Structure 1
Amino acid sequence: MNETKAAPWIAPACALSLALLAFAAPASADHSGHTKTEDHSQGHDHSATTSADHTGHSMDHGAQTEGHDHSGAMTDDHSNHSAHQAMQAEGHDAHAAAGHRMPDHLGMDDQNTLGIAMSPDGFQYKRSLQDYQMPDVTLRNQFAKKVSFVDLLDFDGPVLLNFIFTSCATICPVMSATFGQTQEDLVAIDDNYLMVSISIDPEYDTPTRLREYADLHAARENWVMLTGQFDDIFTVVRAFDAVYKGDNKMYHRPLTFLRANKDAPWLRLEGLLGSEELAEEYSKLLHPEVN
Protein backbone atom coordinates (compact mmCIF):
# COMPACT_ATOMS: atom_id res chain seq x y z
CA MET A 1 0.00 0.00 0.00
CA ASN A 2 1.25 3.40 -0.95
CA GLU A 3 1.01 5.98 1.83
CA THR A 4 0.57 9.67 1.04
CA LYS A 5 2.46 12.01 3.29
CA ALA A 6 1.76 15.68 3.69
CA ALA A 7 4.53 18.09 2.99
CA PRO A 8 6.08 19.19 6.28
CA TRP A 9 5.27 22.91 5.63
CA ILE A 10 1.46 22.50 5.11
CA ALA A 11 0.38 22.22 8.77
CA PRO A 12 2.13 25.39 9.94
CA ALA A 13 0.80 27.27 6.87
CA CYS A 14 -2.78 26.16 7.57
CA ALA A 15 -2.48 27.20 11.19
CA LEU A 16 -1.17 30.61 10.16
CA SER A 17 -4.02 31.05 7.63
CA LEU A 18 -6.64 30.18 10.26
CA ALA A 19 -5.12 32.65 12.67
CA LEU A 20 -5.16 35.42 10.07
CA LEU A 21 -8.79 34.69 9.18
CA ALA A 22 -9.82 34.75 12.83
CA PHE A 23 -8.11 38.11 13.29
CA ALA A 24 -9.47 39.70 10.08
CA ALA A 25 -13.11 38.56 10.32
CA PRO A 26 -14.31 40.96 13.09
CA ALA A 27 -12.52 43.92 11.50
CA SER A 28 -14.01 43.10 8.10
CA ALA A 29 -17.51 42.76 9.53
CA ASP A 30 -17.26 46.00 11.46
CA HIS A 31 -15.84 47.87 8.49
CA SER A 32 -18.50 46.52 6.13
CA GLY A 33 -21.32 47.42 8.49
CA HIS A 34 -19.93 50.90 9.10
CA THR A 35 -19.53 51.65 5.39
CA LYS A 36 -23.05 50.47 4.58
CA THR A 37 -24.63 52.63 7.28
CA GLU A 38 -22.67 55.73 6.30
CA ASP A 39 -23.37 55.34 2.59
CA HIS A 40 -27.09 54.84 3.22
CA SER A 41 -27.27 57.97 5.32
CA GLN A 42 -25.40 60.08 2.80
CA GLY A 43 -27.30 58.62 -0.12
CA HIS A 44 -30.64 59.29 1.56
CA ASP A 45 -29.87 62.94 2.23
CA HIS A 46 -28.54 63.49 -1.26
CA SER A 47 -31.51 61.90 -3.00
CA ALA A 48 -33.94 63.88 -0.88
CA THR A 49 -32.15 67.10 -1.70
CA THR A 50 -31.96 66.23 -5.36
CA SER A 51 -35.64 65.37 -5.42
CA ALA A 52 -36.57 68.63 -3.72
CA ASP A 53 -34.39 70.78 -5.90
CA HIS A 54 -35.16 69.21 -9.25
CA THR A 55 -38.82 68.19 -9.15
CA GLY A 56 -40.46 68.74 -12.50
CA HIS A 57 -37.45 70.25 -14.21
CA SER A 58 -37.00 67.85 -17.10
CA MET A 59 -38.33 70.48 -19.52
CA ASP A 60 -36.14 73.22 -18.06
CA HIS A 61 -32.95 71.21 -18.24
CA GLY A 62 -33.63 70.34 -21.85
CA ALA A 63 -34.40 73.97 -22.57
CA GLN A 64 -31.25 75.11 -20.82
CA THR A 65 -29.21 72.83 -23.07
CA GLU A 66 -30.77 74.34 -26.16
CA GLY A 67 -30.57 77.86 -24.83
CA HIS A 68 -26.99 77.59 -23.68
CA ASP A 69 -25.46 77.38 -27.14
CA HIS A 70 -27.50 80.33 -28.33
CA SER A 71 -26.65 82.37 -25.24
CA GLY A 72 -22.98 81.55 -25.67
CA ALA A 73 -23.09 82.62 -29.28
CA MET A 74 -24.70 85.90 -28.32
CA THR A 75 -22.28 86.73 -25.50
CA ASP A 76 -20.59 89.51 -27.42
CA ASP A 77 -23.94 91.08 -28.28
CA HIS A 78 -25.26 91.18 -24.71
CA SER A 79 -23.64 94.43 -23.66
CA ASN A 80 -26.33 95.39 -21.17
CA HIS A 81 -25.06 93.02 -18.52
CA SER A 82 -26.02 95.31 -15.66
CA ALA A 83 -29.61 95.22 -16.82
CA HIS A 84 -29.49 91.43 -16.83
CA GLN A 85 -28.16 91.53 -13.28
CA ALA A 86 -31.01 93.80 -12.29
CA MET A 87 -33.42 91.29 -13.74
CA GLN A 88 -31.71 88.54 -11.76
CA ALA A 89 -32.09 90.53 -8.56
CA GLU A 90 -35.77 91.12 -9.18
CA GLY A 91 -36.52 87.72 -10.68
CA HIS A 92 -38.90 85.18 -9.27
CA ASP A 93 -37.66 81.79 -8.15
CA ALA A 94 -36.52 79.62 -11.04
CA HIS A 95 -38.87 76.88 -9.93
CA ALA A 96 -41.69 78.95 -11.43
CA ALA A 97 -40.22 78.10 -14.82
CA ALA A 98 -42.50 77.59 -17.74
CA GLY A 99 -44.23 74.40 -18.70
CA HIS A 100 -44.59 72.66 -15.32
CA ARG A 101 -47.78 70.75 -14.76
CA MET A 102 -49.73 72.08 -11.81
CA PRO A 103 -46.95 74.49 -10.77
CA ASP A 104 -46.68 75.78 -7.24
CA HIS A 105 -46.94 79.38 -8.36
CA LEU A 106 -50.60 78.82 -9.23
CA GLY A 107 -51.50 79.21 -5.57
CA MET A 108 -54.48 81.23 -4.37
CA ASP A 109 -52.50 83.72 -2.27
CA ASP A 110 -53.14 86.68 -4.61
CA GLN A 111 -56.14 88.66 -3.42
CA ASN A 112 -56.99 89.44 -7.05
CA THR A 113 -57.09 85.78 -8.03
CA LEU A 114 -60.34 84.80 -9.72
CA GLY A 115 -59.70 81.08 -9.75
CA ILE A 116 -57.74 78.27 -11.35
CA ALA A 117 -58.86 76.74 -14.64
CA MET A 118 -57.83 73.48 -16.27
CA SER A 119 -57.09 73.08 -19.96
CA PRO A 120 -58.04 69.85 -21.80
CA ASP A 121 -54.34 68.95 -21.91
CA GLY A 122 -54.22 68.79 -18.12
CA PHE A 123 -52.43 72.08 -17.54
CA GLN A 124 -53.66 74.47 -14.89
CA TYR A 125 -53.65 78.21 -15.35
CA LYS A 126 -54.42 80.91 -12.83
CA ARG A 127 -56.79 83.78 -13.53
CA SER A 128 -56.43 87.14 -11.80
CA LEU A 129 -57.32 90.78 -12.43
CA GLN A 130 -54.45 93.26 -12.30
CA ASP A 131 -53.86 96.97 -12.84
CA TYR A 132 -50.63 97.78 -14.69
CA GLN A 133 -49.09 101.13 -15.50
CA MET A 134 -47.92 101.21 -19.11
CA PRO A 135 -44.30 102.43 -19.41
CA ASP A 136 -43.45 105.23 -21.83
CA VAL A 137 -40.88 103.47 -24.02
CA THR A 138 -40.32 103.29 -27.76
CA LEU A 139 -39.96 99.87 -29.38
CA ARG A 140 -39.84 98.56 -32.96
CA ASN A 141 -42.35 96.29 -34.65
CA GLN A 142 -41.72 93.47 -37.11
CA PHE A 143 -41.54 96.03 -39.92
CA ALA A 144 -38.78 97.99 -38.12
CA LYS A 145 -41.11 100.91 -37.47
CA LYS A 146 -40.83 102.79 -34.18
CA VAL A 147 -43.78 102.20 -31.89
CA SER A 148 -44.70 104.17 -28.78
CA PHE A 149 -45.78 101.50 -26.32
CA VAL A 150 -48.11 103.89 -24.48
CA ASP A 151 -49.78 104.95 -27.73
CA LEU A 152 -50.09 101.37 -28.90
CA LEU A 153 -51.81 100.30 -25.68
CA ASP A 154 -54.09 103.34 -25.85
CA PHE A 155 -56.07 101.24 -28.31
CA ASP A 156 -59.69 101.33 -27.14
CA GLY A 157 -60.51 97.75 -27.94
CA PRO A 158 -59.62 94.31 -26.63
CA VAL A 159 -55.90 93.57 -26.31
CA LEU A 160 -54.14 90.21 -26.00
CA LEU A 161 -50.47 90.33 -25.00
CA ASN A 162 -47.70 87.85 -24.29
CA PHE A 163 -43.90 87.60 -24.00
CA ILE A 164 -41.95 85.31 -26.34
CA PHE A 165 -38.64 84.93 -28.15
CA THR A 166 -38.14 83.36 -31.55
CA SER A 167 -35.38 80.88 -30.66
CA CYS A 168 -37.38 79.45 -27.75
CA ALA A 169 -38.07 75.73 -28.17
CA THR A 170 -40.27 75.12 -25.14
CA ILE A 171 -43.35 77.19 -24.29
CA CYS A 172 -43.06 79.99 -26.88
CA PRO A 173 -44.07 77.85 -29.87
CA VAL A 174 -47.12 76.71 -27.90
CA MET A 175 -48.08 80.24 -26.88
CA SER A 176 -47.54 81.63 -30.37
CA ALA A 177 -49.47 78.77 -31.97
CA THR A 178 -52.30 79.50 -29.55
CA PHE A 179 -52.35 83.15 -30.64
CA GLY A 180 -52.22 82.12 -34.29
CA GLN A 181 -54.98 79.53 -34.02
CA THR A 182 -57.19 81.84 -31.96
CA GLN A 183 -57.27 84.59 -34.59
CA GLU A 184 -60.16 82.98 -36.49
CA ASP A 185 -62.18 82.56 -33.29
CA LEU A 186 -61.58 86.16 -32.21
CA VAL A 187 -62.85 87.51 -35.52
CA ALA A 188 -66.14 85.69 -34.92
CA ILE A 189 -66.44 87.27 -31.45
CA ASP A 190 -65.10 90.77 -32.08
CA ASP A 191 -62.64 91.49 -34.88
CA ASN A 192 -61.62 94.88 -33.49
CA TYR A 193 -58.81 93.48 -31.38
CA LEU A 194 -55.05 93.93 -30.99
CA MET A 195 -52.52 91.17 -30.38
CA VAL A 196 -49.08 92.06 -29.03
CA SER A 197 -46.11 89.70 -28.68
CA ILE A 198 -43.01 91.18 -27.07
CA SER A 199 -39.61 89.54 -27.51
CA ILE A 200 -37.56 89.13 -24.34
CA ASP A 201 -34.46 88.48 -26.44
CA PRO A 202 -34.20 91.78 -28.34
CA GLU A 203 -30.50 91.40 -29.13
CA TYR A 204 -31.26 88.34 -31.24
CA ASP A 205 -34.82 89.07 -32.31
CA THR A 206 -34.39 91.75 -34.93
CA PRO A 207 -37.43 93.11 -36.79
CA THR A 208 -36.53 90.80 -39.68
CA ARG A 209 -36.59 87.72 -37.43
CA LEU A 210 -39.87 88.85 -35.91
CA ARG A 211 -41.37 89.28 -39.37
CA GLU A 212 -40.31 85.74 -40.29
CA TYR A 213 -41.77 84.50 -37.00
CA ALA A 214 -45.01 86.36 -37.72
CA ASP A 215 -45.23 84.74 -41.15
CA LEU A 216 -44.61 81.34 -39.58
CA HIS A 217 -47.70 81.79 -37.40
CA ALA A 218 -49.82 83.43 -40.12
CA ALA A 219 -50.07 86.65 -38.14
CA ARG A 220 -52.76 89.04 -39.34
CA GLU A 221 -52.21 92.79 -39.55
CA ASN A 222 -53.57 93.36 -36.04
CA TRP A 223 -50.92 91.09 -34.47
CA VAL A 224 -47.95 93.30 -33.59
CA MET A 225 -44.57 91.85 -32.61
CA LEU A 226 -42.16 94.09 -30.77
CA THR A 227 -38.43 94.26 -30.11
CA GLY A 228 -36.15 97.09 -29.02
CA GLN A 229 -33.40 98.05 -26.60
CA PHE A 230 -32.98 95.59 -23.75
CA ASP A 231 -33.56 98.24 -21.06
CA ASP A 232 -36.85 99.24 -22.68
CA ILE A 233 -37.97 95.64 -23.06
CA PHE A 234 -37.08 94.95 -19.43
CA THR A 235 -39.11 98.00 -18.37
CA VAL A 236 -42.17 96.51 -20.06
CA VAL A 237 -41.49 93.05 -18.59
CA ARG A 238 -41.25 94.56 -15.13
CA ALA A 239 -44.42 96.62 -15.63
CA PHE A 240 -46.36 93.38 -16.23
CA ASP A 241 -44.70 91.58 -13.31
CA ALA A 242 -43.28 89.08 -15.79
CA VAL A 243 -39.65 89.17 -14.63
CA TYR A 244 -37.72 85.93 -15.00
CA LYS A 245 -34.62 84.90 -13.06
CA GLY A 246 -31.11 85.65 -14.21
CA ASP A 247 -29.74 85.65 -17.73
CA ASN A 248 -31.59 82.46 -18.63
CA LYS A 249 -34.58 83.31 -20.81
CA MET A 250 -35.72 79.71 -20.46
CA TYR A 251 -36.97 80.60 -16.99
CA HIS A 252 -39.62 82.96 -18.31
CA ARG A 253 -43.18 82.06 -17.41
CA PRO A 254 -46.17 81.30 -19.66
CA LEU A 255 -48.15 84.50 -19.21
CA THR A 256 -51.00 85.83 -21.32
CA PHE A 257 -52.69 89.16 -20.66
CA LEU A 258 -56.15 90.21 -21.85
CA ARG A 259 -57.87 93.57 -21.56
CA ALA A 260 -61.39 94.47 -22.69
CA ASN A 261 -60.61 98.15 -23.35
CA LYS A 262 -58.09 100.81 -22.35
CA ASP A 263 -59.90 101.63 -19.09
CA ALA A 264 -60.40 98.03 -18.01
CA PRO A 265 -58.10 96.00 -15.75
CA TRP A 266 -55.89 93.29 -17.21
CA LEU A 267 -56.91 89.65 -16.96
CA ARG A 268 -53.67 87.82 -16.18
CA LEU A 269 -53.59 84.17 -17.25
CA GLU A 270 -50.62 82.35 -15.76
CA GLY A 271 -50.00 78.94 -17.30
CA LEU A 272 -50.40 77.23 -20.65
CA LEU A 273 -53.76 77.25 -22.38
CA GLY A 274 -54.99 76.31 -25.82
CA SER A 275 -56.82 78.32 -28.45
CA GLU A 276 -60.25 77.20 -27.22
CA GLU A 277 -59.53 78.38 -23.69
CA LEU A 278 -58.09 81.68 -24.91
CA ALA A 279 -61.12 82.32 -27.12
CA GLU A 280 -63.41 81.49 -24.22
CA GLU A 281 -61.54 83.85 -21.89
CA TYR A 282 -61.74 86.54 -24.57
CA SER A 283 -65.48 86.02 -24.97
CA LYS A 284 -66.13 86.09 -21.21
CA LEU A 285 -64.10 89.26 -20.90
CA LEU A 286 -66.07 91.08 -23.59
CA HIS A 287 -69.49 89.63 -22.83
CA PRO A 288 -69.61 88.79 -19.11
CA GLU A 289 -73.41 88.99 -19.11
CA VAL A 290 -73.61 86.08 -21.55
CA ASN A 291 -71.01 83.81 -19.97
Structure 2
Amino acid sequence: MALLPRLTRSSMPGATTSTAKGRCPDYLQNLGTIDVAAGSGFNVVLGDDFNARVWGDTPSGLDSVPAAAVAADLLEVAAGHDHALAKSSAGKVFAWGSNSKGQTLVPISLATTTVQAVAAGNGFSMALTSGGKVVVWGDNTYGQRNIPSALDGKKVVQIAAGARHALALTSDNEIVAWGSNGEGALDVPALAPRGASGCRSPPATASRPAWPRTPRRRECGDSARPESASLRRRRARIPCRSWRVGTRSSRASNATASRPLRASPRPGECSGSARRSRPPTRPSVRLMRRPRPVSG
Protein backbone atom coordinates (compact mmCIF):
# COMPACT_ATOMS: atom_id res chain seq x y z
CA MET A 1 0.00 0.00 0.00
CA ALA A 2 1.38 3.40 -0.98
CA LEU A 3 1.69 5.71 2.00
CA LEU A 4 2.57 9.32 2.54
CA PRO A 5 6.19 10.26 3.27
CA ARG A 6 7.31 10.07 6.83
CA LEU A 7 6.48 13.15 8.87
CA THR A 8 8.09 14.47 12.06
CA ARG A 9 6.41 14.06 15.40
CA SER A 10 7.86 17.29 16.81
CA SER A 11 5.22 19.45 15.09
CA MET A 12 2.28 17.16 15.88
CA PRO A 13 0.04 17.68 18.95
CA GLY A 14 -0.65 14.79 21.29
CA ALA A 15 -3.98 12.99 21.17
CA THR A 16 -5.82 10.26 22.97
CA THR A 17 -5.64 6.76 21.53
CA SER A 18 -9.18 5.57 22.11
CA THR A 19 -12.75 6.76 21.63
CA ALA A 20 -16.15 5.82 22.96
CA LYS A 21 -18.39 3.40 21.09
CA GLY A 22 -20.67 5.16 18.64
CA ARG A 23 -20.28 7.79 15.94
CA CYS A 24 -17.17 9.07 14.25
CA PRO A 25 -15.14 11.14 16.76
CA ASP A 26 -15.25 14.91 16.42
CA TYR A 27 -11.48 15.29 16.63
CA LEU A 28 -11.09 13.57 13.26
CA GLN A 29 -12.45 16.70 11.60
CA ASN A 30 -9.22 18.58 12.39
CA LEU A 31 -6.89 15.60 12.03
CA GLY A 32 -5.00 14.64 8.90
CA THR A 33 -5.27 10.97 7.92
CA ILE A 34 -2.52 8.67 6.74
CA ASP A 35 -4.32 5.31 6.68
CA VAL A 36 -7.70 3.75 7.55
CA ALA A 37 -8.97 0.19 8.09
CA ALA A 38 -12.36 -1.37 8.82
CA GLY A 39 -13.03 -4.49 10.88
CA SER A 40 -16.16 -6.24 12.07
CA GLY A 41 -18.12 -3.35 13.58
CA PHE A 42 -15.12 -1.12 14.31
CA ASN A 43 -12.77 1.21 12.47
CA VAL A 44 -9.12 2.16 12.79
CA VAL A 45 -7.70 5.46 11.57
CA LEU A 46 -4.07 6.53 11.52
CA GLY A 47 -3.70 10.28 11.94
CA ASP A 48 -0.91 12.50 10.71
CA ASP A 49 0.42 12.51 14.29
CA PHE A 50 1.30 8.81 13.78
CA ASN A 51 -1.25 7.66 16.41
CA ALA A 52 -3.99 5.08 15.82
CA ARG A 53 -7.58 5.76 16.90
CA VAL A 54 -10.30 3.13 17.17
CA TRP A 55 -14.05 3.65 17.37
CA GLY A 56 -17.15 1.51 17.01
CA ASP A 57 -17.79 -1.89 18.57
CA THR A 58 -14.72 -2.57 20.74
CA PRO A 59 -15.56 -5.43 23.15
CA SER A 60 -12.14 -7.10 22.94
CA GLY A 61 -10.01 -4.19 24.13
CA LEU A 62 -9.67 -2.76 20.64
CA ASP A 63 -9.91 0.75 22.03
CA SER A 64 -6.74 0.17 24.07
CA VAL A 65 -3.86 0.77 21.68
CA PRO A 66 -0.61 -0.67 23.12
CA ALA A 67 1.73 1.85 24.70
CA ALA A 68 4.56 0.68 22.46
CA ALA A 69 2.46 1.51 19.41
CA VAL A 70 1.60 4.94 20.82
CA ALA A 71 5.28 5.74 21.28
CA ALA A 72 6.18 4.61 17.75
CA ASP A 73 5.63 6.41 14.48
CA LEU A 74 2.94 4.30 12.84
CA LEU A 75 2.63 4.30 9.08
CA GLU A 76 0.06 1.57 8.38
CA VAL A 77 -2.92 -0.07 10.09
CA ALA A 78 -4.99 -3.18 9.36
CA ALA A 79 -8.22 -4.51 10.87
CA GLY A 80 -9.37 -8.12 11.19
CA HIS A 81 -12.59 -9.56 12.57
CA ASP A 82 -11.89 -8.59 16.18
CA HIS A 83 -8.26 -7.45 16.27
CA ALA A 84 -6.04 -4.77 14.74
CA LEU A 85 -2.49 -4.47 13.45
CA ALA A 86 -0.12 -1.56 12.93
CA LYS A 87 3.31 -1.14 11.34
CA SER A 88 5.77 1.52 12.39
CA SER A 89 8.24 3.49 10.32
CA ALA A 90 11.00 1.27 11.77
CA GLY A 91 9.33 -1.84 10.32
CA LYS A 92 7.93 -3.18 13.62
CA VAL A 93 4.53 -4.84 14.03
CA PHE A 94 2.01 -4.14 16.82
CA ALA A 95 -1.17 -6.14 17.44
CA TRP A 96 -4.05 -5.72 19.89
CA GLY A 97 -7.64 -6.85 20.40
CA SER A 98 -8.95 -10.39 20.70
CA ASN A 99 -6.37 -13.18 21.02
CA SER A 100 -8.74 -16.14 20.79
CA LYS A 101 -6.68 -17.75 17.99
CA GLY A 102 -3.30 -16.24 18.85
CA GLN A 103 -3.72 -13.55 16.21
CA THR A 104 -2.17 -10.83 18.42
CA LEU A 105 0.92 -12.87 19.36
CA VAL A 106 3.47 -11.41 16.98
CA PRO A 107 6.15 -14.01 16.12
CA ILE A 108 9.55 -13.44 17.70
CA SER A 109 11.18 -13.78 14.28
CA LEU A 110 9.64 -10.44 13.27
CA ALA A 111 11.43 -8.64 16.12
CA THR A 112 14.66 -8.71 14.14
CA THR A 113 13.09 -8.33 10.69
CA THR A 114 11.90 -5.22 8.92
CA VAL A 115 8.23 -5.44 7.92
CA GLN A 116 6.88 -3.45 4.99
CA ALA A 117 3.18 -4.44 5.05
CA VAL A 118 0.58 -6.06 7.35
CA ALA A 119 -2.85 -7.65 6.81
CA ALA A 120 -5.47 -9.05 9.18
CA GLY A 121 -8.13 -11.73 8.62
CA ASN A 122 -10.64 -13.56 10.80
CA GLY A 123 -8.47 -14.85 13.63
CA PHE A 124 -5.12 -14.70 11.78
CA SER A 125 -2.56 -12.05 10.89
CA MET A 126 -0.05 -11.57 8.07
CA ALA A 127 3.17 -9.64 7.60
CA LEU A 128 5.36 -9.02 4.55
CA THR A 129 9.07 -8.63 5.23
CA SER A 130 11.41 -6.33 3.35
CA GLY A 131 12.93 -9.42 1.71
CA GLY A 132 9.60 -10.37 0.08
CA LYS A 133 8.71 -13.21 2.49
CA VAL A 134 5.26 -13.83 3.98
CA VAL A 135 4.74 -14.60 7.67
CA VAL A 136 1.35 -15.77 8.99
CA TRP A 137 0.28 -16.46 12.57
CA GLY A 138 -2.97 -17.15 14.40
CA ASP A 139 -5.80 -19.43 13.28
CA ASN A 140 -4.90 -22.33 10.99
CA THR A 141 -8.28 -24.03 10.68
CA TYR A 142 -8.29 -23.66 6.90
CA GLY A 143 -4.54 -23.75 6.38
CA GLN A 144 -4.03 -19.99 6.47
CA ARG A 145 -0.57 -20.46 8.00
CA ASN A 146 0.53 -23.00 5.39
CA ILE A 147 2.49 -20.89 2.92
CA PRO A 148 2.16 -22.48 -0.56
CA SER A 149 5.23 -23.91 -2.24
CA ALA A 150 4.40 -21.74 -5.24
CA LEU A 151 5.96 -18.82 -3.34
CA ASP A 152 9.28 -20.58 -2.81
CA GLY A 153 12.11 -18.57 -4.32
CA LYS A 154 9.80 -15.72 -5.36
CA LYS A 155 9.58 -12.19 -4.04
CA VAL A 156 6.20 -11.09 -2.77
CA VAL A 157 5.35 -7.42 -3.22
CA GLN A 158 1.84 -7.28 -1.73
CA ILE A 159 -0.37 -9.30 0.64
CA ALA A 160 -4.07 -9.36 1.48
CA ALA A 161 -6.22 -11.27 3.95
CA GLY A 162 -9.83 -12.35 3.69
CA ALA A 163 -12.01 -13.93 6.37
CA ARG A 164 -10.55 -17.44 5.90
CA HIS A 165 -8.02 -17.17 3.08
CA ALA A 166 -4.96 -15.14 2.08
CA LEU A 167 -3.48 -13.71 -1.12
CA ALA A 168 0.01 -12.79 -2.23
CA LEU A 169 1.19 -10.94 -5.33
CA THR A 170 4.69 -11.75 -6.59
CA SER A 171 7.11 -9.51 -8.45
CA ASP A 172 6.39 -11.39 -11.71
CA ASN A 173 2.67 -10.52 -11.52
CA GLU A 174 1.55 -13.91 -10.19
CA ILE A 175 -1.27 -14.17 -7.65
CA VAL A 176 -1.10 -17.04 -5.15
CA ALA A 177 -4.05 -17.87 -2.88
CA TRP A 178 -4.37 -20.31 0.00
CA GLY A 179 -6.75 -21.11 2.86
CA SER A 180 -10.46 -21.84 2.54
CA ASN A 181 -11.91 -22.38 -0.92
CA GLY A 182 -15.55 -22.71 0.11
CA GLU A 183 -16.72 -20.04 -2.35
CA GLY A 184 -14.02 -20.54 -4.96
CA ALA A 185 -11.80 -17.85 -3.43
CA LEU A 186 -8.67 -19.79 -4.36
CA ASP A 187 -9.59 -20.22 -8.04
CA VAL A 188 -7.37 -17.45 -9.40
CA PRO A 189 -8.26 -16.58 -13.01
CA ALA A 190 -5.57 -16.51 -15.66
CA LEU A 191 -3.92 -13.10 -15.99
CA ALA A 192 -1.85 -11.62 -18.79
CA PRO A 193 1.91 -11.34 -18.18
CA ARG A 194 3.32 -8.02 -17.10
CA GLY A 195 3.77 -5.66 -20.02
CA ALA A 196 0.97 -7.22 -22.09
CA SER A 197 -1.79 -5.06 -23.49
CA GLY A 198 -4.49 -6.69 -21.36
CA CYS A 199 -5.97 -9.88 -19.96
CA ARG A 200 -8.28 -10.41 -22.90
CA SER A 201 -7.63 -10.09 -26.58
CA PRO A 202 -9.61 -7.36 -28.32
CA PRO A 203 -12.60 -8.62 -30.29
CA ALA A 204 -11.96 -9.24 -33.96
CA THR A 205 -13.35 -6.46 -36.10
CA ALA A 206 -16.01 -7.58 -38.52
CA SER A 207 -14.91 -7.40 -42.12
CA ARG A 208 -16.81 -5.03 -44.35
CA PRO A 209 -19.21 -6.90 -46.64
CA ALA A 210 -18.24 -6.94 -50.27
CA TRP A 211 -21.13 -4.96 -51.75
CA PRO A 212 -21.67 -5.49 -55.50
CA ARG A 213 -20.25 -2.57 -57.41
CA THR A 214 -22.63 -0.78 -59.74
CA PRO A 215 -21.31 -0.86 -63.32
CA ARG A 216 -19.91 2.54 -64.25
CA ARG A 217 -21.65 4.16 -67.13
CA ARG A 218 -19.52 4.26 -70.22
CA GLU A 219 -18.33 7.74 -71.09
CA CYS A 220 -17.14 8.98 -74.41
CA GLY A 221 -13.40 8.86 -74.85
CA ASP A 222 -12.79 6.04 -72.34
CA SER A 223 -9.41 4.46 -72.81
CA ALA A 224 -9.35 0.87 -73.90
CA ARG A 225 -8.63 -1.63 -71.17
CA PRO A 226 -9.03 -5.40 -70.79
CA GLU A 227 -12.54 -6.40 -69.84
CA SER A 228 -14.66 -9.49 -69.91
CA ALA A 229 -17.00 -10.37 -72.69
CA SER A 230 -20.08 -9.95 -70.47
CA LEU A 231 -18.94 -6.47 -69.44
CA ARG A 232 -18.41 -5.53 -73.09
CA ARG A 233 -21.94 -6.70 -73.92
CA ARG A 234 -23.40 -4.66 -71.07
CA ARG A 235 -21.48 -1.55 -72.03
CA ALA A 236 -22.48 -1.94 -75.66
CA ARG A 237 -26.11 -1.34 -74.63
CA ILE A 238 -25.28 1.94 -72.81
CA PRO A 239 -25.78 4.94 -75.13
CA CYS A 240 -22.94 7.37 -75.59
CA ARG A 241 -24.19 10.74 -76.76
CA SER A 242 -22.73 14.19 -76.88
CA TRP A 243 -23.99 17.58 -77.94
CA ARG A 244 -22.29 20.87 -78.44
CA VAL A 245 -24.20 24.11 -78.23
CA GLY A 246 -22.07 27.20 -78.82
CA THR A 247 -19.07 26.95 -76.49
CA ARG A 248 -20.79 24.83 -73.88
CA SER A 249 -21.01 21.05 -74.04
CA SER A 250 -23.08 18.56 -72.11
CA ARG A 251 -23.74 14.86 -72.07
CA ALA A 252 -27.14 13.35 -72.34
CA SER A 253 -28.72 11.27 -69.64
CA ASN A 254 -31.21 8.51 -70.06
CA ALA A 255 -33.99 11.07 -70.12
CA THR A 256 -34.98 12.50 -73.51
CA ALA A 257 -34.11 16.15 -74.12
CA SER A 258 -36.99 18.60 -73.84
CA ARG A 259 -36.17 20.17 -77.21
CA PRO A 260 -34.20 19.00 -80.22
CA LEU A 261 -30.56 20.05 -80.50
CA ARG A 262 -28.28 19.88 -83.47
CA ALA A 263 -25.71 17.18 -82.95
CA SER A 264 -22.05 18.08 -83.37
CA PRO A 265 -19.58 15.47 -82.10
CA ARG A 266 -16.29 16.62 -80.67
CA PRO A 267 -12.95 15.32 -81.93
CA GLY A 268 -12.02 12.10 -80.19
CA GLU A 269 -15.56 11.37 -79.07
CA CYS A 270 -17.68 8.44 -80.14
CA SER A 271 -18.22 8.80 -83.83
CA GLY A 272 -21.57 8.07 -85.34
CA SER A 273 -23.36 8.21 -82.03
CA ALA A 274 -24.25 11.91 -82.09
CA ARG A 275 -27.73 12.30 -83.39
CA ARG A 276 -30.44 14.85 -83.26
CA SER A 277 -32.65 14.35 -80.27
CA ARG A 278 -36.34 14.40 -80.80
CA PRO A 279 -39.13 14.83 -78.30
CA PRO A 280 -41.15 11.72 -77.60
CA THR A 281 -44.08 11.21 -79.90
CA ARG A 282 -47.46 10.24 -78.63
CA PRO A 283 -48.99 7.14 -80.14
CA SER A 284 -51.72 7.90 -82.61
CA VAL A 285 -55.21 7.05 -81.43
CA ARG A 286 -57.91 6.35 -83.97
CA LEU A 287 -61.40 7.17 -82.79
CA MET A 288 -64.04 4.71 -83.82
CA ARG A 289 -67.56 6.02 -84.37
CA ARG A 290 -70.31 3.97 -82.87
CA PRO A 291 -72.48 2.51 -85.63
CA ARG A 292 -76.10 3.63 -85.70
CA PRO A 293 -78.78 1.02 -85.26
CA VAL A 294 -80.53 -0.05 -88.43
CA SER A 295 -84.29 0.67 -88.43
CA GLY A 296 -86.56 -2.06 -89.67
TM-score of the superposition, structure 1-length normalised? 0.22
Which structure: larger Rg? 2
Which structure features the higher share of strand residues?
Answer: 2
Which structure features the higher share of helix residues?
Answer: 1
Higher relative contact order (CA 8 A, sep 6+): 1
TM-score of the superposition, structure 2-length normalised? 0.22
